[in-house]
Amino acid sequence: MAFPLDDTPRITLLEDDAELREDILLPGLTHYGFHAVGVGTASALYETLQTNAPDIVVLDVGLPDADGFSVAQAVRALLPRIGIIMLTGHGETSDQVRGLSHGADAYLVKPAQVELLAATVHSLLRRLRGRAAPVPTKRWHFDAKDWCLISPMGRTVALSKTEQRVMSCLASSLGQLVTREQLVAAVADNVHDYDPHRIESLIHRLRRKVASQCGESLPLTAVHGKGYVLDDERRPAD
């Protein structure tokens, strides 16, 4: 499968567990705004890299036709500037050290939550693209292009497709009321089949996610029975 010709981050996933690959990781990465394709063997990965190099390779350590550490080393030699994230069911420090010494940029223990994997991809992409890490400011920053929210302390929260739509809607009307109907229109493919009360649950999960990952509260005020106002005092800069 070829990647689309745009600047959306491209990921190739090497995972021999077809169910994990096709039903969890690939849909999850797509849900967080990445172009992701998957292969099940090291030989298929090498063939793909020859003609369709991604920005980042995510690979499992345990493979049917090769050793994951050797694959990481070979990929690094083939494409020195590529990003490599390794997944493994073993969390021993020695394995992590071995993975990093064989060319990996990051090492996650399975079962790795897609949210954590997405955040790791965002962090690695900043390094690969020569961007400085977010620095503390007095404002929240919503990055619509990279599907992430950056807190005043410089902490990054990777956003899902639905969360990105919600934040885009709120950030476009800073300091103003955004009604539940407007939020429904932003996230629903069919507003007539969408229960508007789901917005409250979505906002609750987003608040909790931001607080958990940033240690800071999103400056979002609920207006009872109407909608929400994203505070303009420490506003996200588009």
pLDDT tens figures, 32-84: 989 999 999 999 999 999 888 899 999 998 888 888 889 999 999 889 889 99
Tell whether pTM > 0.75. no
**pLDDT above 50: residue 5:** no
Question: HEC states along 164-186?
Answer: HHHHHHHHCCCCCEEEHHHHHHH
Is 39 in contact with 11 (CB distance < 8 Å)?
no
Q: Indicate the pLDDT class of residue 205, thresholds 50, 70 and 90.
A: very high
pLDDT at residue 91 greater than cutoff 50: yes
pLDDT of residue 202: 92
At the second CATH level, the architecture of 141-230 is Orthogonal Bundle (1.10)
Q: What is the CA radius of gyration of the chain?
A: 20
Phi-psi region of 58 (alpha: psi -120 to 50; beta: other; left: phi over 0): beta
Q: Report which listed range, 90-94, 143-147, 232-236, is most confident.
A: 143-147
d(CA 84, CA 107): 9
Q: What is the pLDDT of residues 105-141, one digit of tens each?
A: 998 988 788 988 998 998 898 888 775 555 556 788 8
CATH code given to domain 10-128 = 3.40.50.2300
Q: Give domain limits for the chain.
A: 10-128, 141-230
